[in-house]
Amino acid sequence: MKTNDTSRRDFIAAGLLAGLTVAGCKSSKSNPFDSLADNQVKPSGEMVKLLGVNGEVIEVDKAFLKPVPDLPPISNEMARRGIAGKKFVMVIDLSRCKSVKACQTACNHAHQIHGGQNWIKIYPLQEAEHTAPYWQPTTCMHCDEPPCVKVCPVDATFKRQDGIVLIDSDRCIGCRFCMAACPYSTRVFNWEELELPKEVAEKPYSCETSVPQKKGTVGKCDFCPDMVRKGGLPHCVSACPNGVFMFGDMLEDTVTNGAETFRFSDLVKDKAGYRLMEDLGTKPSVYYLPPVNRNFPFENKEPQTETKKS
Amino acid sequence: MESIAKQKIIEDLLPQKFGKAGKIWVGALLFICAIGFFAYYRQLSKGLVVTGMRDYASWGIYISNFVFFVAISLVGSLITAVLRLSDVHWSTPLTRIAEIIAVSAITFASIIIIVDMGRPDRFYNLFLHGRLQSPIVWDVIVITTYFFVSLLLLYFPMLPDLAILMKFKEKTGAGLNKIYSFLGAFWKNTPVQIHISEKAINLLSVTIIPVAFAIHTVTSWLFATTYRPGWDSTNFGAYFISGAFLVGAGGVVVAMFVFRKAYHLEKYITDSHFDKMGKVLVLLALLYLYFNVNEFLVPAFKMKKPEEEHLLGLFTGEFATVFWFAITTAMIIPILILLFKKGRKPLPAFVAGCLVVIGSWFKRYLIVTPTLLHPFLPMQDVPASYRHYFPSWEEWAIAIGSLAGALLIITLFARIFPIIPIQETITETEQHENENA
Amino acid sequence: MKMKMHSRLLFSALLLQLIGIAAFAQTAKNDLSLSVSYFNSNNQVQYLVAHAKSKIDGKFQMIPNINVSFYIGSESPSNLLGKGVTNNKGECLVLIPPAAKSEWNKSAKPGFIVVSQATKQFDESKGNFDVTKAKIQIDTAADKKITAVLLELKDTAWTPVKDVDVRIAVKRLGGDLDVAETPTYATDSLGMVSAEYKRDSLPGDAKGNITIVAKVEDNDLYGNLSSEKIVSWGKYYPYKSEFDKRTLFARRGKSPIWLELIAYSIVAAVWAVLFYLFGQIRKLKRLGI
Query: What pLDDT was estimated at residue C233?
Result: 92
CB contact under 8 A, C280 and B196: yes
Taking the CA of residue B135 and the nearest CA in chain A, the distance in Å comes to 6
Q: B112 and B157, same structural domain?
A: yes
Least reliable range by pLDDT among A297-306, C197-206, C248-257, C279-288: A297-306
Q: B32 and B176, same structural domain?
A: yes
Q: B354 lies in a domain?
A: yes
Residue A152 near chain B (CB below 8 Å):
yes
Tens digits of per-residue pLDDT, A181-234? Answer: 999 999 999 999 988 888 888 889 999 999 999 999 999 999 999 988 888 899
Candidates C252, C258, C265: best to mutate against B (most CBs of B within 10 A) is: C252
Query: What pLDDT was estimated at residue A43?
Result: 67
Query: What pLDDT was estimated at residue C9?
Result: 54
CB contact under 8 A, C288 and B185: yes
Strands (E), chain A: 47-51, 57-61, 88-93, 121-125, 134-138, 157-159, 165-167, 188-189, 218-219, 245-249, 254-256, 261-263, 286-289
- What rounded mean pLDDT belongs to chain C? 85
CB contact under 8 A, B193 and C252: no
Q: B272 lies in a domain?
A: no
Helices (runs of H) and strands (runs of E) counted in chain B: 20, 0
Report the residue from B120, B226, B377 with minimal CB separation from A310: B377
Sign of torsion over alpha carbons A193, A199, A202, A206 = negative
Taking the CA of residue C274 and the nearest CA in chain B, the distance in Å comes to 7
Q: B306 and B425, same structural domain?
A: no
Report A:32-91 residues touching B (Cβ under 8 A).
Answer: none
CB-CB contact of C55 with C42 (8 Å) = no
Tens digits of per-residue pLDDT, B393-429? Answer: 999 999 999 999 999 999 999 999 999 999 988 888 8
Q: B300 and B169, same structural domain?
A: no
A-C contacts (CB, under 8 Å): 216
Chain A residue with Cα closest to C92: A68
Query: What pLDDT was estimated at residue A74?
Result: 85
Q: Per-residue confidence at C216, pLDDT binned at 50, 70, 90?
A: very high
User: pTM of the entire structure?
Assistant: 0.87
As a whole number, mean pLDDT of residues C55-66 equals: 82
Query: What pLDDT was estimated at residue B72?
Result: 94
Residue A151 near chain B (CB below 8 Å):
yes
CB-CB contact of A242 with A233 (8 Å) = no
Q: B132 and B86, same structural domain?
A: yes
In three-state secondary structure terms, A57 is strand
Report strand pairing: C165-172 vs C175-178. antiparallel
More confident residue, B137 or A29: B137
CB-CB contact of C16 with C33 (8 Å) = yes
Sign of torsion over alpha carbons B158, B160, B161, B162 = positive
CA–CA dist B348, B335 (Å, integer)? 12
Residue C25 near chain B (CB below 8 Å):
no
For C80-83, which contacts have Cβ atoms below 8 Å and span 24 or more sequence positions? C81/C48, C81/C112
Rg (CA), chain A: 20
Residue A58 near chain C (CB below 8 Å):
yes
Query: What pLDDT was estimated at residue C12?
Result: 56
- What rounded mean pLDDT belongs to chain B? 93
Q: Per-residue confidence at A9, pLDDT binned at 50, 70, 90?
A: very low
CB contact under 8 A, A188 and B55: yes
Report the residue from C263, C270, C287 with minimal CB separation from B132: C263
Residue A117 near chain B (CB below 8 Å):
yes
CB contact under 8 A, C241 and A158: no
Q: B79 and B160, same structural domain?
A: yes
As a whole number, mean pLDDT of residues B66-79 equals: 90
Q: B203 and B234, same structural domain?
A: no
CB contact under 8 A, A21 and C228: yes
Full domain range(s) for residue B179: 19-225+394-430
Q: B423 lies in a domain?
A: yes
Tens digits of per-residue pLDDT, A52-85? Answer: 777 788 887 776 664 444 567 889 999 999 998 8
Which residues, including other chains, have CB under 8 Å from residue A266's CB and lie 6 or more apart? none
Residue A133 near chain B (CB below 8 Å):
no
Taking the CA of residue A63 and the nearest CA in chain B, the distance in Å comes to 34
Sorted by where each begins, the domain ranges of chain C are 2-130, 134-231, 242-272
CB contact under 8 A, A154 and B129: yes
Chain C residue with Cα closest to A235: C89
DSSP assignment of B389-413, as one string?
Answer: ----HHHHHHHHHHHHHHHHHHHHH
Report the residue from A3, A14, A65 with minimal CB separation from C174: A14
Q: B51 lies in a domain?
A: yes
Chain C residue with Cα closest to A156: C251
Q: Per-residue confidence at A29, pLDDT binned at 50, 70, 90?
A: very low
As a whole number, mean pLDDT of residues C184-212 equals: 89
Q: B327 and B408, same structural domain?
A: no
CA–CA dist B380, A119 (Å, integer)? 11
DSSP bridge pairs for B341: none
Residue A60 near chain C (CB below 8 Å):
yes
Which chains pack against A, by 3+ Cβ pairs within 8 A? Answer: B, C
Taking the CA of residue A106 and the nearest CA in chain B, the distance in Å comes to 15
Least reliable range by pLDDT among A112-116, B50-54, B105-109: A112-116
Sign of torsion over alpha carbons B3, B6, B8, B11 = negative
Evaluate if residue A19 carries a pLDDT over 80.
Answer: no
The verdict on domain C134-231 having CATH code 2.60.40 is yes
CB-CB contact of B392 with B99 (8 Å) = no
* Segment holding C9, helix H or strand E: helix C2-24
Which chains pack against B, by 3+ Cβ pairs within 8 A? Answer: A, C
CATH code for the domain defined by C2-130: 2.60.40
What residues of C are in contact with residue A149 (Cβ under 8 Å)? 249
CA–CA dist B65, B51 (Å, integer)? 14
Q: B47 and B151, same structural domain?
A: yes
Q: B154 lies in a domain?
A: yes
Q: B133 and B40, same structural domain?
A: yes
Q: B256 lies in a domain?
A: no
CA–CA dist B102, B134 (Å, integer)? 25
Q: What are phi and psi of B263, to 5 degrees?
A: -110, 10
User: Counting Cβ atoms within 10 Å, is residue C280 exposed (0-12), middle (13-18) or buried (19+)?
Assistant: middle
Number of Cβ atoms within 10 Å of the Cβ of A58: 18
Amino acid at residue number A146:
P
What residues of A are in contact with residue C62 (Cβ under 8 Å)? 8
Q: Per-residue confidence at C15, pLDDT binned at 50, 70, 90?
A: low
Q: B216 and B286, same structural domain?
A: no
Least reliable range by pLDDT among B43-57, B191-205, C30-44: C30-44
Query: What pLDDT was estimated at residue A303?
Result: 56
Query: What pLDDT was estimated at residue C10?
Result: 55
**Structural domains of chain B, count:** 2
Q: B253 lies in a domain?
A: no
Evaluate if residue B156 carries a pLDDT over 90.
Answer: yes
Q: Per-residue confidence at B4, pLDDT binned at 50, 70, 90?
A: confident
Which residues, including other chains, have CB under 8 Å from residue A229's CB and lie 6 or more apart? A36, A37, A71, A74, A83, A208
CB contact under 8 A, C46 and A52: yes
As a whole number, mean pLDDT of residues C16-35 equals: 63
- What rounded mean pLDDT belongs to chain A? 83
Residue A85 near chain C (CB below 8 Å):
yes
CB contact under 8 A, A51 and C104: yes
CB-CB contact of A183 with A282 (8 Å) = yes
Number of Cβ atoms within 10 Å of the Cβ of A88: 25
What residues of B are in contact with residue C289 (Cβ under 8 Å)? 186
Tens digits of per-residue pLDDT, C66-119? Answer: 899 999 888 888 888 888 888 877 888 888 888 888 888 888 788 999 998 888
Taking the CA of residue B155 and the nearest CA in chain C, the distance in Å comes to 10
As a whole number, mean pLDDT of residues C224-229 equals: 90
Report C:196-215 residues touching A (Cβ under 8 A).
Answer: 199, 202-207, 209-211, 213
CB contact under 8 A, B207 and C273: yes
Q: B209 and B98, same structural domain?
A: yes
Evaluate if residue B212 carries a pLDDT over 90.
Answer: yes
Which chains pack against C, by 3+ Cβ pairs within 8 A? Answer: A, B
Evaluate if residue A30 carries a pLDDT over 80.
Answer: no
CB-CB contact of A96 with A259 (8 Å) = no
DSSP bridge pairs for A123: A136
Evaluate if residue A5 carries a pLDDT over 60.
Answer: no
Question: Could you give all domains of chain A from N- to C-terminal order, each with its CATH number?
Answer: 4-72 (no CATH), 78-289 (3.30.70.20)
Shared fold status for C2-130 and C134-231: yes
Residue A179 near chain B (CB below 8 Å):
yes
Least reliable range by pLDDT among A20-24, A48-52, A255-259, B245-249: A20-24
The proportion of chain C whose per-residue pLDDT surpasses 70, expressed as a percent, equals 90
